[in-house]
Amino acid sequence: MSHPLTFYRRAAAAAADTVLQSKLQRATTRLTASRQTSFAVWAEGDAVRDRAREIRADVIAHLDRYLRQFSQALEQRGGHVHWAATGAEAVSIVTRIAKDRGVRRAVKSKSMVSEEIRLNDGLESSGVTVVETDLGEWVVQLAHDHPSHIIAPIIHKSREDIAELFKSAAGATEDDVSDVAHMTAFARTRLRSEFINADMGISGANFGVADTGSICLVTNEGNGRLTTTVPRIHVALMGIERIVPNIADLGTMLRVLARSATGQPLSVYSNILSGPRRTTDDETRSEPDGPDELHVVLVDNGRSELLGGELAEILYCIRCGACLNACPVYQSIGGHAYGSVYPGPVGAVLTPALYGLGPFGELPQASSLCGACREVCPVRIDIPRMLLALRRRSVQEVGAPAWIRHGMRAYAAAATRPALFRIAVRASRAALGLLARHGWVRRLPGPLSAWTSTRDFPAFAKRTFQDQWRSGARQR
């Protein structure tokens, strides 16, 4: 999953890309402003957010019970439940369903879990053609790219980028890409036949309702409904944490999800699916629409290992993307720099929590700890607390660089000995004085140069605070 370059090298390259900066700032500013406007006029917003957090906390605390209830209710409605302990197992389950039923072509609506487990690669290696039908995901697929945002997969692309892609990869003409309306019409024409010819529809699931066995898909595009109703088989992938107890609680979650994601009171399509198409024995009263089979794959992939621990709160996340839009780090580097399906503040916690600090130990450092992510989160997840916990764990498991270890020991020795501390301060002030120009140090030596490579370091004051304090006390 991780890119071979380190996070810091990917981040540096992204931060130096002025074109990318312009795209990110334009998109995140617009999404953040829409969210702020939506919540500003919502008098009961804080109370609903508090209730949403209570729902998520209750579900995660009693996840085993709610999962059993959901599974039983879904099966009673004619659906099939599959349990996948790992991502590879989930891919195997979907591939087996496709193979057993002779599936050759599948259409797919947006699903972060499918990206997480690399489902497309698994299906295509088994001979199934997979077509993404969410507009952003289709663009990503055409470009052989990866999504860079949880709800806006192509936030890193401009209209001009997409127009060129449509011409080079999809055969579009200049008229087809003359404006946004024509580009949308071109994509609609190209994708409409895919739904009709597909044997299988694959989707994610924003929520599963425990007491009814229903799944809910939230989208602003109609492709979700076509994917889940036109093909004869529907397979839904859902992380095991995405449960709500009942329909009333689902309503609460939908209210905060839409406002946090895009500023809408409610998304354009909130699809609640309860089992496959219903038929009688003689098919005289069959439902005309819907799949003949519904399969829900419940994906663990490391989530259960977080339960009861200091990182369990990250499972409250409802994937609205608000924390990405508010994060100054994400705003500067975008999603690809994280080297993970889940970028931004939520990804900086979730990715190392699921896959370990070994390959992703740098991600918890990708934060200024300003707390903006916590402020905008619809369920008030304390991401900064978990980032600090992962930083502490990283030092314990991976270890800090030698210069930091020795430097902290030297600081501790000096800080606990006042006389030695005063000597060290004087020596440091003198050394910085040799490097400073007009009160600023523009280049520090050794590993400290990482700081001055992007910012100046202030020279120490000529008189310490303690010296000034003692001088003031004598004057009084």
| pTM score | 0.88
Q: Are 276 and 258 a contacting pair, CB within 8 Å?
A: no
For the chain, the residue count is 476
The pLDDT, as a whole number, for residue 473 is 61
230/219 Cα distance (integer angstroms): 17
**Mean pLDDT (whole number) for 1-11:** 72
451/454 Cα distance (integer angstroms): 6
387/364 Cα distance (integer angstroms): 5
**Mean pLDDT (whole number) for 401-424:** 88
Q: Cα dist. 210→63, 158, 250, 462 in Å?
A: 10, 40, 10, 66
Residue by residue, DSSP assigns 114-149 as: HHHHTHHHHHHHTT-EEEE-SHHHHHHHHTT----S
> Has residue 342 got a pLDDT over 50?
yes
The pLDDT, as a whole number, for residue 279 is 78
Three-state DSSP class for residue 228? helix
Positive or negative: CA dihedral 395, 399, 400, 405: positive
Picking from 148, 381, 111, 367, the residue whose alpha carbon sits closest to that of residue 260 is 381
Picking from 318, 388, 441, the residue whose alpha carbon sits closest to that of residue 49 is 318
Q: Cα dist. 61→70, 206, 451 in Å?
A: 16, 19, 42
**Mean pLDDT (whole number) for 343-355:** 96
Enumerate long-range contacts of 466-472, CB under 8 Å, 24 or more apart.
466/422
**Mean pLDDT (whole number) for 33-38:** 95
Residue by residue, DSSP assigns 247-258 as: HHHHHHHHHHHH
The pLDDT, as a whole number, for residue 3 is 46
**Mean pLDDT (whole number) for 319-341:** 95
pLDDT tens digit sequence for 366-386: 999 999 999 999 999 999 999
383/342 Cα distance (integer angstroms): 14
The pLDDT, as a whole number, for residue 285 is 63
Q: Are 6 and 339 a contacting pair, CB within 8 Å?
A: no
DSSP lists the bridge partners of residue 298 as 83, 238
> Has residue 1 got a pLDDT over 60?
no
**Mean pLDDT (whole number) for 453-475:** 81
Positive or negative: CA dihedral 236, 239, 240, 246: negative
pLDDT tens digit sequence for 245-290: 999 999 999 999 999 999 999 999 999 999 999 876 666 567 888 9
Residue 476 or residue 128, greater confidence:
128
The pLDDT, as a whole number, for residue 2 is 46
273/265 Cα distance (integer angstroms): 21
Tell me how far apart the terminal alpha carbons of the chain are, to the nearest angstrom: 65
419, amino acid identity = A
Q: Where are the domains of the chain?
A: 42-301, 403-475
Three-state DSSP class for residue 197? helix
**Mean pLDDT (whole number) for 98-122:** 97
> Has residue 393 got a pLDDT over 70?
yes
Residue 265: CA count within 13 A, CB half-sphere:
4
**Mean pLDDT (whole number) for 169-187:** 96
Q: Is 380 left (phi over 0), alpha (psi -120 to 50) or beta?
A: left
Query: Mean pLDDT for the chain?
Result: 93
376/31 Cα distance (integer angstroms): 12
Buried b (16+ CB within 10 A) or exposed e, 1-38: ebeeeebeebbbebbeeeebbebbeebbeebbebbeeb
- What's the CATH number for 42-301? 3.40.50.10420
Picking from 195, 208, 320, the residue whose alpha carbon sits closest to that of residue 257 is 320
At 337, phi and psi to the nearest 5?
-65, -25
**Mean pLDDT (whole number) for 185-193:** 94
Model confidence at 462, pLDDT cuts 50, 70, 90, reads: confident
